[in-house]
Structure 1
């Protein structure tokens, strides 16, 4: 083997440690690639004997210990990848010996200490990736001597001091990522000399001073992130020259003046200057970026009107201009933004009526107009927004009544109409809002009785606040059934009668205020734990914690002896009836179980409980979904109702008696997950995540008697992308639909990675997890499930496949290291993109024995035969559609690069797909023009 030049064994199951004798008789070895081979132990010092070595890749293993000094004797090295290991210690000064080094990747280790000054001797270095280690101290000024540097990523370390001005000498630099460190001082003006920069990220540091005017020379810049610093002063006018910006984030600084200098680009996808001191009018020019998806201008000092040009941003999904000093009406043009899901205009001086056209924004999930000067009544059109989760209109001057149509907002989680002039009765339809988490109607002029239907709001938890109104009548005892409620305020009304004793038994309550009403009678002993302030202002009320009762008649004191006897008798009869019913159900269900068992099919008895309701439900369901409803709808999870299965469990379609259709996933774990507090908490968190391209988790339930755990999801009428591409189907997915699915998938993944805190890594993206609704919109399912099952369960052999991803989709670095990252999700997504275009399964044998889908697509796309990459069922395509298909494949190839650092982020991939999607209109117009010539 002494003549061997290349040894490439990447992604094989070698295990063990790196042999010390590997280089003993191998003086000619030039390339040694052992990435993803399950190697452990330390890197042997004897590796220095491979004196001809030019490329050393030991990444994606579990190597430990220090990087041996002897490794830096390999003077011919051009590539050194040691990333994704558990290496410790410091970086040796001997690195200066690697004068030919072009790429150095040490990220995802546990390295610490200072970056040695000798780094400056690496004049040929092009890539320097040190992110997610524990490096500290200042970046040496000698880094400016690395004249060939193109990409520098030091994110997530403890570097401190000032950013060296010598970086400005790096003429070829395209990426500078220094986020989440401890840099202080001013941003060096010399960075403006790096004219090739496309991404500059200095966020999450302690930088001060102003933004250098020299940044106006960075005309290739696409992303500029400076958020979470202490920058101040006005924006330099030179920033208007940055015509290629797609994303900027200056949030959480102390910047002031106008934002007009940021309006030179018409290619924005996201724009965030939240929490600064910007002032003046919101520039009309912001409306010239038709692909802008998220626009955040909140917590500033903007004045004037909302720019009418925002109506031109047809891709806008989020608009936040809250906490400013804006005046005037909401512009009519905003109604053209049909993709809006979030509108936050809280805390301004906006006036006029709430426009009825808001009710036509069918995707709207949050509408926040609190603390303004809106007048008039609540437009009934708003109650057509069936996807609305948050409606906050408090702190205005709204009048009129709450219409019965409020019952239509079945997905609503938060309703706040407080501090207005709303009158009339609270409609009984309020009880239909079964997913309400918070209800605030205080400081209005509401009259009549509190409807007993309010007891149907079983998810009400944060607050029920009806204070400072004119409610009359008794306190409905049904309030005591709100077993999650933490805050109850009925103060300052005209309520009468006794306080229902059951309210005192509500274990979840942490705040109670019934003061200043006309309540009477003796408080039950359960109320003694509350302060007297909770009951003051009720002249006829007594008992602990108030004063001693004296002279009360029997009605005021409580029930008569005769009444007690009658109630006791009724209770006894009821108990006997329940016992008889339980016995009948027990024998009936066990007989059914016996018959099913004899027949060989699976069935599950619920003889331990006849009413096992979900432990948790959060938004989306029309009413409470109980265990029995699911069992009845699926014939006890009979295979006839199964619509899918995978590593995490089987999925069933359930048509409930209330007319609702849901998807039920039976988790294949024997553990009692629902009693696991960590699992409980994680699933509740997942249940709060809402995005138009994610499958909504509506709840979960379990039965200890059956050993079953089930998750409840919204049902997707059109199945999965896998079904449409690979199973028997009635119709072919046309190109327009496939492209829309690709973009929707990318937007869902981007939301998980960039808009969830903390970010969520999916771990198992595949075409069978991309589900399609009635409009063929993509919804990514099972997000977050693999992680919480891994952390909370003892896996069995039946489910082990879940945690290594799915065959055909596994990223190279994940297949053996089991380290899931956002970049492994991007790889999975790239495979799905290839499926969408080619129509082929990632595991098909047509690619040949020596290759896979990724290599096949990469090879053929660059050849004259590339047309065979496009699914034959799509043909013939228009020339512009065919070109778009190739562009999607090019993005897919970038997503499936072998090394994670070479892949785009999900946000970058999403941006590129959006460009393809948005450019199709122009392509069609060009074709029409050509045909008319």
Structure 2
């Protein structure tokens, strides 16, 4: 039986798709009708295909133009897949199409003009990689009700005035679209608009007063732009408004009192601006508010007395302002509050007793205020709390024994208060505790031995108190302890040898106590980077390694200490010698001197030989440079200049670099920040070491110079003259992922929350997937690592450093000298490279898996705690037996009850990427798909596009 036109069209559509999970098995040639195909719907009267819906089916490949043969199709819905390629222009023939949803794929190229789809009501092509100019033609689709164009790679441009033609629009999503300039007035004529989302762009100008015309508006997303000016009183006219986020702009001034009349608000966010003054009193009457985030502004005065009393608040962050007066009493009045963050203000007085009933609290930070009095007893017993931080206040009283109920605690920070009394033994019940900071208080008595039960503890600070008695030997059970500080107390007895058994210990401070006896010799076995035993009553010999590592100041004030006279530090140390040197020891010392003289002579001889060889090499290198670098040369003051992006550059300015602007140095050269004088912006300039010029220049030019992808670093130009070589890149303000992971905004506060880490993981995965699957000739990076993933001002990731990259196709035909070159970084190198140089895309997948592990755990690829010769992949593999073990390896600095599920999903992806056998690892396309499914929905507003609802400090 001959195939119908529609069956033939659908089978051709299927043929251009990859279907690894076999969802399209029902699409067969011998079917009587396509109406039985999975995801296909037909008109019951005519039998013609009307809908194709294949949401989240793990499909890849491309869209076939055959779809244009389905003349009656009204709905084409293919979101959350991995489909790539361009939209076929033939789609214009589907004139009955009312719904086109391609969001969340890997589609690219310039968008074809689809003005022929005049019946279209829903168009969503967001979250792809479409490039070229902004699609102004959408203004011709006047029946549109829902329009999503955001999160693509359009050229920088303005919002077209013609979008005002779309009078039926109720949903407009233009986030992350490289838009600049002001919002055109025509947008405010769209009277039916309910959602206006233009976040993450470069929109400038004052917040538009005309927004009050949009009387149907219930959601405004304008965060992360360049808006300035004050919040207009006209905003209060939007009586249906439920959510507003104008965070991360440059707005200032007081909030109009009338804003308190927006009684339907559920989300109110304007953090990281310059607002000042008091909050409108009407905020105390809100009945629906769930999320309130205004941190990093300059608000002052008292918080309205009834704030939160009638609202189902789950999150409030008023940190880093200048609020004063009593601490608000009713933030948890409805019993839903999970995150209470009010650090760095001027609140005074006591905490209300009713906070002890807030059993829902997960994160409580009211540090750096002027709060006083006793902490309510019941506030010590919060069963869901992960973090309690009362530090830098004036609290008094003690820690209640009922703290043993708070068994979920990861961090307890009480430093710099007036707390007193003995520590309760119930602290030993907090087995999830990782940070216990009680420094600079008035605690007394002995350190409870029950602290030894805290086998997750990594940081213990009890300094500047009045503790007495011995250091408990049970500390040996704190096998993860990295930082131990017991200084400035009245501890006595000896330094227990048990401390030498804490193999993870990195920093030890026992100074200014009354400790006696000798320093345990076994302390030398620990890989300490910091030690201070000064001002005690210690006697005996200072172990040589500890003296050389800590210096004199680590041991001063111990009159009974001495040093071994044979030590190299004897001549410069201020300590007495324990005993005279024996003849044997002097002989050993003389042997060392003779050895050093012989070694120095050998170095001089070898240096001379290398100099001769180097001069010969430089002569041949100059010729090789001219042969290897095949480019179209422009001249700029005798420099050879190759530009890859339209950008005016002055070679002399590029190449006269100031050492004060040095921002990095690595194996291929030094990197400088340069603010171009002609106002075209800031760039990063890499000056290559001479030995790397040929290979690095040629490789980076042939890869970065041709790539256009938002998650791949832009190479603007290459410059060459004589022995000098420079590469000009876009400047990445936030450095690299490794730096950002380990930077602290302030003590104990990390820069990257889980939302940022997830977006970094997804963006980097999309960039790497582009290299592997969407370049005309697939590219293997060969050195994927967290330091080669750079972050722009919005923490958008970009893969960088293509100096050792290779083309996948025809790899074996490349010169032997190239293919035999080992590339990669210890800790990221795939295990198969130990026995083969046959590099494939799966080697990059393994390295990327290590980066995912870094993002999830907060750890480095190589750390001493993993064991000799072990790495992060091995360490994680030993913690996957139970859910309890898995939760322990999640980065405790960011984890909370609301996000482990998403973190665990990414952890699973990482373990798949780091499977030992390459053929069992997923492709990067599959990784992108899995990461999309791991989106941290609990961190988002109801928006389908996963917009961040708040930053959890």
What pairs with 1:514-593 in structure 2 (closer than 5 Å)? Answer: 514-518=555-559, 519-522=561-564, 542-544=570-572, 546=573, 555=579, 557=581
Is the 1:698–1:713 Cα contact (8 Å) retained in structure 2?
no
Q: Using the alignment, how far apart are the partners of 1:466 and 1:754 within structure 2?
A: 26
Is the 2:909–2:930 Cα contact (8 Å) retained in structure 1?
no
Is the 1:246–1:269 Cα contact (8 Å) retained in structure 2?
yes
Q: Using the alignment, how far apart are the partners of 2:380 and 2:59 within structure 1?
A: 60
What pairs with 1:626-645 in structure 2 (closer than 5 Å)? Answer: none
Q: 1:267 aligns with which of 302, 312, 315?
A: 312
- The alpha-carbon distance between structure 1 residues 293 and 38, as it changes in their structure 2 partners (threshold 3 A), is closer
Q: 1:209 aligns with which of 247, 253, 259?
A: 253
Q: 1:677 deviation in Å? A: 8.6
Q: Using the alignment, how far apart are the partners of 2:385 and 2:870 within structure 1?
A: 43
Q: Using the alignment, how far apart are the partners of 2:284 and 2:131 within structure 1?
A: 45
Is the 2:513–2:535 Cα contact (8 Å) retained in structure 1?
yes
Q: For 2:244, what is the secondary structure of its paired residue? A: strand
Structure 2 residue aligned with 1:241: 285
Q: 1:798 aligns with which of 920, 929, 940?
A: 920
Q: 1:802 deviation in Å? A: 11
Q: Using the alignment, how far apart are the partners of 1:795 and 1:181 within structure 2?
A: 45
Q: 1:31 deviation in Å? A: 3.7
Post-superposition CA distance 1:339-373 (Å, at most 9, x none): 33321110001112332322343333322111011
Q: 1:197 deviation in Å? A: 2.2
Q: Using the alignment, how far apart are the partners of 1:16 and 1:904 within structure 2?
A: 25
- The alpha-carbon distance between structure 1 residues 511 and 183, as it changes in their structure 2 partners (threshold 3 A), is farther
Is the 1:488–1:511 Cα contact (8 Å) retained in structure 2?
no
TM-score normalised to structure 1 length: 0.62
Q: Using the alignment, how far apart are the partners of 1:271 and 1:559 within structure 2?
A: 73
Q: 1:214 deviation in Å? A: 2.5
Q: 1:207 deviation in Å? A: 1.9
Q: Are 1:818 and 2:818 matched, yes or no?
A: no
Q: Using the alignment, how far apart are the partners of 1:430 and 1:357 within structure 2?
A: 23
Structure 2 residue aligned with 1:921: none
Is the 2:850–2:910 Cα contact (8 Å) retained in structure 1?
no
Q: Are 1:711 and 2:877 matched, yes or no?
A: yes
Is the 2:544–2:564 Cα contact (8 Å) retained in structure 1?
no
- The alpha-carbon distance between structure 1 residues 50 and 680, as it changes in their structure 2 partners (threshold 3 A), is closer
- The alpha-carbon distance between structure 1 residues 459 and 904, as it changes in their structure 2 partners (threshold 3 A), is same
Structure 1 residue aligned with 2:216: 172
What pairs with 1:758-837 in structure 2 (closer than 5 Å)? Answer: 781=904, 783-787=906-910, 790=913, 796-800=918-922, 804=926, 818=929, 820-821=931-932
Q: For 1:290, what is the secondary structure of its paired residue? A: coil
Is the 1:179–1:203 Cα contact (8 Å) retained in structure 2?
yes
Is the 2:899–2:936 Cα contact (8 Å) retained in structure 1?
no
Structure 1 residue aligned with 2:239: 195
Q: 1:292 deviation in Å? A: 1.1
Q: 2:139 aligns with which of 96, 100, 111?
A: 96
Q: 1:404 deviation in Å? A: 2.8
- The alpha-carbon distance between structure 1 residues 226 and 403, as it changes in their structure 2 partners (threshold 3 A), is same
Q: Using the alignment, how far apart are the partners of 2:416 and 2:313 within structure 1?
A: 30
Structure 1 residue aligned with 2:536: 493
Q: Using the alignment, how far apart are the partners of 2:350 and 2:439 within structure 1?
A: 21
Is the 1:141–1:165 Cα contact (8 Å) retained in structure 2?
no
What pairs with 1:93-242 in structure 2 (closer than 5 Å)? Answer: 93-111=136-154, 112-242=156-286
Tell me the matched-pair count. 649
Q: Are 1:436 and 2:464 matched, yes or no?
A: no
Q: Using the alignment, how far apart are the partners of 2:583 and 2:906 within structure 1?
A: 54
Q: For 1:436, what is the secondary structure of its paired residue? A: coil
Q: Using the alignment, how far apart are the partners of 2:845 and 2:473 within structure 1?
A: 35
Gaps of 5+ in 1: 528-541, 565-666, 690-696, 721-744, 764-779, 806-816, 830-893, 909-933
Q: Using the alignment, how far apart are the partners of 1:90 and 1:313 within structure 2?
A: 52
Post-superposition CA distance 1:429-455 (Å, at most 9, x none): 222222112111111222222111111
Is the 2:469–2:493 Cα contact (8 Å) retained in structure 1?
yes
Q: For 2:347, what is the secondary structure of its paired residue? A: strand
Is the 1:335–1:358 Cα contact (8 Å) retained in structure 2?
yes
Q: Using the alignment, how far apart are the partners of 1:346 and 1:410 within structure 2?
A: 24
Bigger Cα displacement from structure 2, 272-281 vs 185-194: 185-194
Q: Using the alignment, how far apart are the partners of 1:524 and 1:685 within structure 2?
A: 47
Q: 1:762 deviation in Å? A: 6.7
Q: 1:32 deviation in Å? A: 4.0
Q: 1:172 deviation in Å? A: 1.7
Cα RMSD after superposing both structures: 4.4
Q: 1:415 deviation in Å? A: 0.9
Q: For 2:241, what is the secondary structure of its paired residue? A: coil
Q: Are 1:346 and 2:468 matched, yes or no?
A: no
Q: For 1:71, what is the secondary structure of its paired residue? A: coil
Structure 2 residue aligned with 1:403: 448
- The alpha-carbon distance between structure 1 residues 185 and 283, as it changes in their structure 2 partners (threshold 3 A), is same
Q: Using the alignment, how far apart are the partners of 2:83 and 2:946 within structure 1?
A: 27
Post-superposition CA distance 1:757-811 (Å, at most 9, x none): 9x98977xxxxxxxxxxxxxxxx85642414753x67863334399848xxxxxx
Structure 2 residue aligned with 1:79: 122
Q: 1:235 deviation in Å? A: 0.4
Structure 2 residue aligned with 1:861: none
What pairs with 1:616-627 in structure 2 (closer than 5 Å)? Answer: none
Q: Using the alignment, how far apart are the partners of 1:130 and 1:334 within structure 2?
A: 45
TM-score normalised to structure 2 length: 0.60
Q: 1:19 deviation in Å? A: 5.2
Is the 1:308–1:331 Cα contact (8 Å) retained in structure 2?
yes
Q: For 2:227, what is the secondary structure of its paired residue? A: strand
- The alpha-carbon distance between structure 1 residues 685 and 448, as it changes in their structure 2 partners (threshold 3 A), is farther
Q: For 1:370, what is the secondary structure of its paired residue? A: coil
- The alpha-carbon distance between structure 1 residues 307 and 300, as it changes in their structure 2 partners (threshold 3 A), is same
Q: 1:34 deviation in Å? A: 5.0
Q: For 1:200, what is the secondary structure of its paired residue? A: strand
- The alpha-carbon distance between structure 1 residues 432 and 668, as it changes in their structure 2 partners (threshold 3 A), is same
Q: Using the alignment, how far apart are the partners of 2:488 and 2:529 within structure 1?
A: 20
Q: Using the alignment, how far apart are the partners of 2:131 and 2:502 within structure 1?
A: 54
Is the 1:486–1:511 Cα contact (8 Å) retained in structure 2?
no
Q: Are 1:295 and 2:340 matched, yes or no?
A: yes
Gaps of 5+ in 2: 7-45, 589-828, 835-842
Structure 2 residue aligned with 1:61: 105
Q: Using the alignment, how far apart are the partners of 2:186 and 2:449 within structure 1?
A: 71
Structure 2 residue aligned with 1:636: none
Q: Using the alignment, how far apart are the partners of 1:698 and 1:338 within structure 2?
A: 34
Q: 2:431 aligns with which of 380, 386, 399?
A: 386
Q: Using the alignment, how far apart are the partners of 1:82 and 1:510 within structure 2?
A: 63
Q: Using the alignment, how far apart are the partners of 1:271 and 1:521 within structure 2?
A: 57
Q: Using the alignment, how far apart are the partners of 2:518 and 2:380 within structure 1?
A: 44
Is the 1:9–1:37 Cα contact (8 Å) retained in structure 2?
no
Q: Are 1:363 and 2:408 matched, yes or no?
A: yes
Structure 1 residue aligned with 2:750: none
Q: 1:245 deviation in Å? A: 0.7
Structure 2 residue aligned with 1:285: 330
Is the 1:353–1:375 Cα contact (8 Å) retained in structure 2?
yes
Q: For 2:175, what is the secondary structure of its paired residue? A: coil
Is the 1:398–1:420 Cα contact (8 Å) retained in structure 2?
yes
Q: Using the alignment, how far apart are the partners of 1:14 and 1:174 within structure 2?
A: 35
Post-superposition CA distance 1:168-218 (Å, at most 9, x none): 222222222222222222223222222222221222222211223222222
Is the 1:501–1:523 Cα contact (8 Å) retained in structure 2?
no
- The alpha-carbon distance between structure 1 residues 557 and 668, as it changes in their structure 2 partners (threshold 3 A), is closer
